[in-house]
């Protein structure tokens, strides 16, 4: 008689693991990140490093405070994804303490106080970003102009470190000479001053920052994030419905308004390739923990984010609205999941719709 | 008109798996050696266990019934070979609970002597009821694993069945017993199907086989063609797990969905397993009860994987020996397939009617589970269109009402969700746990309802008794009070009162005499006399009185 080990079926071990998913996400971020570094210099990299170190450290501390094993959770890379997304969303010359604060807040309040990976209702990176932009609006404007723009030189590594860590511009330079409003911000401000889009494009001051599609540099960054995102969608690491809903809705709205009044509403291509849209659509909105889980729910979730982005960009107080749009839709996921439950096998549509009319509380 | 679609339908989700079936199909089915002992659990099927007919020390013949049963959902067990009953008692059986169960152990005598059998070459001589009874007496149960009594599934009384489906999908990896049976005994498969069609009065039969079994498909198709069996159709279906699930198979073939809490019969269909068809054939044509089955012995832990024809009750150890023994990799022994089978602790367990495969694998690993990240891979894989991550969430928080809202009981425990979960959460375990808990609660609730009813009834009874007692007491008291009030007065007075009463009574008696008979005139007197006379004669007269 021979003895055997036992367990519960199924006995196959899945090939994918959480850390593999997160690693793929990090890999897919590389092309867009490389473009960001190319156009905006060392600041991007420094931010990412600061965010990564702070995120890993905070995660380790929180895990030990929560009496969780540190190694398996740290090596799932989920906190690195949060750190990178947050760093890519911050201005390149954001002071070190702001990046630290935002990242720390994201990990502690956005993630662990809710119970850690899988239990947080809000996207941690966006929680950190929103805290930063609400609390420190001035520091959140320290964007640098793209290096291909005439008249600006890239800051060197030492100068960048000095700006980020000491908070002072390099000798002989002013804040104004090293930082500049983003194309999205410029567009919003100037449109607010009753200028038409043509006026803005033709202006000597602002014209040069716009490229063929959107802002110089930004179009490339968005294009490469789109590429990385498509790769993830192809590998089924992310659900294509969310970015499709988001970009589709944003396109529909911006196209509609641009057709209605092309002088005051930017073209859909500008909207789609400006700011953090592709990063948001493929990497932030698709965070499975905080997104809806049903197919239909994911469509609605993505479309909702696209809707709020357009509203905030056009009539809201911020040039880009991704973080707020994502958080707003995060709030609605439990409801979306319940009301978009698929019809289970063998259930009639009649009983299915009846069940759904009843609602979750009864 | 056939229920078969022009273009096969498909069900949501499912997985493409590595099948590893070639491993065990390289050599033909081989007869397993007669073991020195046969261990027969009395209860090998869904439903009630039978009543034991034999005693310890009794000699039994091959095919002799060991149990009998009157229950509708039940099946008897037969002696798979001749020998002597050595023991009747609790023994470990292959069951996920790992509990022991009542078994009859037979020491075989090597003579393999048959009991008298009665079969019939021409099954059409039997009517459907007779066929059902014979299938029932033969102890045939669904041989795909569930072991549901076949006779019950052949009972059409409540439904009109137009199509019989033979399930030759065999979608679980490694298992090839149905494949080999279809390759080698295709004639018996088809004839078994015809017998069942006769019993069901079905018009057509679809034999569905996954496209990874080309030889089986060819052999069956050729046989059906050669014999011009136009009412039987062999259907090649795509290999996708779990197409062999009854409801999934029906969806693929007919595009219809069996209602959630219903049976295939509700939509005019019956699904039977390939091996069951062969068992029915043997039972009707040769009168042989179900005493053996084909078992796939396979996996990287077996030297020479193959299919064996095994007597029910044969211990598993010797079967592995016959297949060359264990390899160094052997670390787990699974009954059934890798997706839905269960791991056994030892190989000293008998093969039962529902045992289609013995899979010997490296030791099973349960990787540490990470938290669910709600990625939804499980929902995409679920063939029942459920939301496994929500089920998991609510099951793990013991939210049993909500879990039923999410249709937990539509889960077929196929394991697709767990097989794709990147967090390696043993999802199916949670669903089994939740189901068991809900059943338990349901039983408890019924019990407590019953107890409460009994309690309420008892309270009511006590209350009634008390009320009756009180009533009696009150009456008694009143009577007593009356008596006391009367007897409390002066005895003289009482005597006077009594005397007065007596006088009054006498007087009343005197007063009761009729007083209107004095001073009558003769005519009146005459009328009275006449009336008295009529009364005596009992003759009513209508016109008498003024």
Which residues on A lie below 8 Å from B423 (Cβ)? 17-18, 118
Per-residue model confidence (pLDDT) at position B278: 96
- Fill in the DSSP letter of residue B123: G
Supply the pLDDT for residue B545. Answer: 44
| Structural tokens at position B487 | 């007897």
Q: How far apart are CA B183 and CA B343, in angstroms?
A: 29
Asked whether the ipTM of the predicted complex exceeds the cut of 0.95, the reply is no
Where is B344: in which H helix or E strand? strand B342-344
Q: Taking the CA of residue B399 as centre, how many other CA atoms within 13 Å lie in the half-sphere pointing to its CB?
A: 12
Beta-bridge mates of residue B232 = B205
Task: Please state the rounded mean pLDDT for residues A40-55.
Answer: 95
Phi-psi region of A194 (alpha: psi -120 to 50; beta: other; left: phi over 0): left
Residue A342 sits at the chain B interface (C-beta within 8 Å): yes
Taking CA–CA distances from B372, the nearest residue in chain A reads A118
| Whole-number Cα distances in Å, A132 to A179, B26, B274 | 18, 67, 66
Beta bridge partners of B67: B52
Question: How many Cβ atoms from other residues are within 10 Å of residue B90's Cβ?
Answer: 11
Helix axes A96-105, A78-89, angle to 10 degrees: 140
Contact B351, B389 (CB under 8 A): no
Q: Edge to edge, what strands does the sheet with B163-168 contain?
A: B232-237, B204-210, B163-168, B269-273
Torsion of CA A316, A322, A325, A330, to 10 degrees: -160
Whose CA is closest to B88, among B71, B74, B101?
Answer: B101
Distance in angstroms (rounded) separating the CA atoms of residues B410 and B387: 11
Question: Which residues from A are below 8 Å from B410, CB to CB?
Answer: 344-347
Q: Are B366 and A7 in contact (CB under 8 A)?
A: yes
Helix (H) or strand (E) holding A162: none
Say how many C-beta atoms besides its own lie within 10 A of residue B509's C-beta.
Answer: 9
HSE on the CB side for B362, CA within 13 Å?
A: 5
What is the model's pLDDT at position B537? 72
Show residues of chain B in contact with A293, CB under 8 Å. Answer: 374, 376, 379, 387, 389-390
A6/B345 touch (CB, cutoff 8 Å), yes or no: yes
Q: Which of A285, A313, A320, A310 is nearest to A299 (CA)?
A: A285
Residue B541 has what pLDDT?
A: 46
- Closest residue by Cα to residue B173 from A11, A228, A209, A153: A11
Report pLDDT for B542. Answer: 47
pLDDT tier at A150 (50, 70, 90 boundaries)? Answer: low
Name the token pair of B263: 């049976």
Sign of CA dihedral B271, B273, B276, B281: positive
Residue in B363, B367, B407 closest to A344 by CB? B407
CA distance B301 to B55: 39
Cβ atoms within 10 Å of A182's Cβ, excluding its own: 22
What does each C-alpha distance from B544 to B525, B527, B528 come to in angstroms?
Answer: 14, 9, 11
From chain B, the residues in CB contact with A78 under 8 A are: 373
Return d(Cα A318, Cα A134) in angstroms, integer.
10
C-beta of residue A102 within 8 angstroms of C-beta of residue A126: no
Res. A358: pLDDT tops 60: no
Contacts of A11 in chain B (CB under 8 A): 332, 334, 338-339, 341, 343, 361, 364
- Are B376 and B66 contacting, i.e. CB atoms less than 8 angstroms apart? no
Q: Tens of pLDDT along A70-93?
A: 988 888 999 999 999 999 999 999
What percent helix, strand, coil does chain A show, rounded to 5?
Answer: 65, 0, 35
Residue closest to A353 by CA, chosen among A361, A362, A343, A345: A343
Residues of chain B with pLDDT under 70: 1, 486-491, 510-520, 538-546
Q: In chain A, positions 209-248, which contact chain B (CB-CB < 8 Å)?
A: 239
Residue B47 touches chain A, beta carbons under 8 Å: no
Of the two residues B367 and A231, the one the predictor is more confident about is A231
Between CA B212 and CA B22 the distance in angstroms is 10
User: Is B347 near chain A, with CB under 8 Å?
Assistant: yes
SS3 content of chain B, % helix, strand, coil (to 5): 40, 20, 45
pLDDT tens, position by position, A258-274: 999 988 899 999 999 99
Q: Does B522 touch chain A (CB under 8 A)?
A: no
- Distance from B276 to chain A by nearest Cα, in Å? 25
At residue A12, does pLDDT exceed 90? no
Verify whether the Cβ–Cβ distance A345 to B385 is below 8 Å.
yes
Question: Could you give the 3-state DSSP secondary structure of residue B254?
Answer: helix
Which of chain B's residues have a Cβ under 8 Å away from the Cβ of A342? 12, 379, 385-387
Query: Which H, E and C letters describe B179-234, residue by residue?
Result: HHHHHHCHHHHHHHHHHHHHHHCCCEEEEEEECCCHHHHHHHHHHHHHCCCCCEEE
Does residue A170 carry a pLDDT above 90?
no
Tell me phi and psi for residue A97, to 5 degrees: -70, -25
- Three-class SS of A331-360: HHHHHHHHHCCCCCCCCCHHHHHHHHHHCC
User: Which of A7, A72, A288 minimises the CB distance to B343?
Assistant: A7
According to DSSP, the β-strands at B37-41 and B59-60 are unpaired
- CB–CB of A249/A271 below 8 Å? no
Considering only CB atoms, B340 lies closest to which of A9, A73, A343, namely A9
Q: List the beta bridge partners of residue B237.
A: B210
What are phi and psi for residue A43, nearest 5 degrees? Answer: -50, -40
pLDDT of residue B518: 61
pLDDT at A355: 57
C-alpha A323/C-alpha A81 separation (Å) is 16
Interchain proximity B259–A348, CB inside 8 Å: yes
Other C-beta atoms closer than 10 Å to the C-beta of A207 total 11
Diameter of chain A measured on Cα atoms: 89
Instruction: Tell me how far CA of residue B314 lies from CA of A203, B160, B318, B365, in angstroms.
Output: 91, 39, 8, 28
CA distance A52 to B217: 58
Question: In the predicted model, what is the mean pLDDT of chain A?
Answer: 90
Report yes or no: A319 and A280 within 8 Å, Cβ to Cβ: no
What pairing do the DSSP bridges indicate for beta strands B269-273 and B332-335?
unpaired
| Burial bucket for residue B48 (CB in 10 Å: 0-12, 13-18, 19+) | middle
Could you tell me which residues come within 8 angstroms of residue A115 by beta carbon, excluding any fewer than 6 positions away?
none
pLDDT of residue B160: 87
CA–CA separation, A32 and A44 (whole Å): 11
> How many other β-carbons are positioned within 10 Å of the β-carbon of residue B442?
11
């Amino acid at each position: 008689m021979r003895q055997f080990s036992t367990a519960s079926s199924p006995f196959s071990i899945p090939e994918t693991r959480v850390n593999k998913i997160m690693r793929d996400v990090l890999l897919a971020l590389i092309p867009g990140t490389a473009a960001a570094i190319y156009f905006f210099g060392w600041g991007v990299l420094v931010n990412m490093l600061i965010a990564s170190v702070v995120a890993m450290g905070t995660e380790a501390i929180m895990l030990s405070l929560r009496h969780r094993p540190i190694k398996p959770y740290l090596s799932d890379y989920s906190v690195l994804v949060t750190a990178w997304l947050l760093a890519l969303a911050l201005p390149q010359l954001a002071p070190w303490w702001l990046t630290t604060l935002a990242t720390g807040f994201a990990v502690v309040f956005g993630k662990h106080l809710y119970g850690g990976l899988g239990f947080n209702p809000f996207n941690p990176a966006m929680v950190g970003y929103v805290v930063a932009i609400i609390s420190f609006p001035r520091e959140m404007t320290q964007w640098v102009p793209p290096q291909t723009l005439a008249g600006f030189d890239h800051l060197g590594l030492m100068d960048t470190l000095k700006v980020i860590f000491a908070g002072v511009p390099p000798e002989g330079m002013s804040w104004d000479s090293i930082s500049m409003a983003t194309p999205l911000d410029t567009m919003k401000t100037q449109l607010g001053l009753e200028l038409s889009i043509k006026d803005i494009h033709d202006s000597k001051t602002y014209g040069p920052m716009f490229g063929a599609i959107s802002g110089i540099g930004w179009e490339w960054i968005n294009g490469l994030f789109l590429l990385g995102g498509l790769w993830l969608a192809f590998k089924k690491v992310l659900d294509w419905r969310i970015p499709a809903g988001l970009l589709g809705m944003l396109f529909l709205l911006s196209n509609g308004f641009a057709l209605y009044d092309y002088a005051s509403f930017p073209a859909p291509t500008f909207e789609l390739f400006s700011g953090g849209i592709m990063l948001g659509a493929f990497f932030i909105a698709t965070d499975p923990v905080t997104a809806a889980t049903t197919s239909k729910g994911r469509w609605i979730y993505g479309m909702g984010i696209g809707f709020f982005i357009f509203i905030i960009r056009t009539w809201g107080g911020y040039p880009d609205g991704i973080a707020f749009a994502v958080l707003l839709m995060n709030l609605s996921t439990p409801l979306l999941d319940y009301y978009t439950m698929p019809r289970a096998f063998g259930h009639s549509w009649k009983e299915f719709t009846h069940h759904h009319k009843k609602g979750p509380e009864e | 008109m056939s229920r078969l679609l022009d273009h096969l339908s498909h069900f949501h989700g499912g997985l493409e798996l590595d099948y590893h079936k070639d491993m065990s199909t390289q050599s033909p089915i081989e007869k397993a050696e007669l073991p020195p002992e046969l261990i027969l659990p009395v209860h090998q099927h869904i439903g009630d266990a039978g009543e034991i007919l034999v005693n310890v020390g009794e000699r039994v013949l091959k095919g002799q019934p060991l149990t009998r049963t009157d229950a509708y959902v039940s099946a008897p067990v037969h002696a798979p070979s001749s020998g002597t009953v050595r023991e009747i008692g609790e023994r470990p059986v292959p069951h996920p609970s790992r509990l022991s169960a009542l078994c009859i152990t037979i020491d075989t005598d090597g003579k393999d002597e048959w009991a008298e059998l009665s079969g019939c070459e021409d099954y059409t001589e039997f009517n459907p009821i007779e066929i059902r009874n014979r299938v029932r007496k033969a102890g045939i149960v669904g041989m795909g694993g569930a072991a549901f009594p076949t006779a019950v599934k052949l009972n059409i009384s409540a439904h009109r069945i137009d199509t019989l489906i033979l399930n030759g999908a065999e979608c679980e990896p490694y298992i090839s017993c149905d494949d080999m049976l279809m390759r080698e005994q295709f004639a018996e498969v088809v004839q078994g199907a015809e017998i069942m069609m006769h019993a069901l009065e079905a018009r057509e039969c679809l034999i569905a086989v996954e496209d990874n079994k080309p030889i089986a498909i060819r052999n069956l198709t050729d046989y059906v063609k050669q014999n011009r069996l136009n009412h039987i159709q062999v259907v090649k279906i795509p290999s996708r797990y779990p197409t062999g699930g009854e409801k999934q198979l029906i969806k693929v073939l007919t595009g219809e969905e069996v209602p959630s809490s219903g049976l295939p019969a509700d939509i005019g269909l019956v699904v039977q397993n390939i091996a069951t068809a062969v068992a029915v054939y043997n039972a009707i044509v040769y009168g042989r009860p179900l005493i053996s089955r084909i078992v796939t012995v396979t996996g990287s832990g077996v030297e020479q994987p193959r299919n064996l024809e095994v007597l029910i009750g044969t211990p598993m150890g010797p079967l592995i020996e016959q297949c060359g023994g264990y390899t160094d990799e052997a670390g787990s022994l699974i009954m059934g397939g890798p997706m839905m089978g269960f791991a056994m602790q030892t190989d000293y367990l008998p093969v039962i009617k529902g045992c289609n495969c013995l899979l010997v694998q490296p030791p099973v690993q349960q990787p540490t589970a990470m938290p669910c990240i709600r990625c939804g891979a499980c929902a995409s894989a679920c063939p029942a269109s459920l939301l496994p991550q929500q089920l998991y969430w609510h099951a793990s928080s013991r939210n049993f009402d909500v879990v039923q809202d999410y249709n937990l009981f539509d889960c077929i425990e196929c394991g697709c969700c767990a097989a794709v979960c990147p967090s390696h959460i043993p999802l199916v375990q949670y669903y089994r746990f939740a189901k068991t808990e809900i059943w338990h609660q349901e039983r408890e609730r019924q019990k407590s309802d019953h107890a409460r009813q009994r309690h309420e009834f008892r309270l009511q009874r006590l209350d009634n008794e008390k009320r009756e007692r009180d009533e009696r007491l009150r009456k008694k008291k009143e009577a007593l009070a009356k008596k006391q009030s009367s007897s409390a007065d002066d005895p003289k007075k009482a005597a006077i009162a009594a005397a007065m009463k007596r006088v009054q009574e006498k007087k009343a008696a005197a007063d009761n005499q009729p007083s209107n008979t004095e001073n009558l005139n003769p005519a009146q007197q005459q009328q009275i006399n006449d009336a008295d006379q009529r009364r005596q004669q009992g003759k009513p007269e209508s016109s008498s009185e003024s």
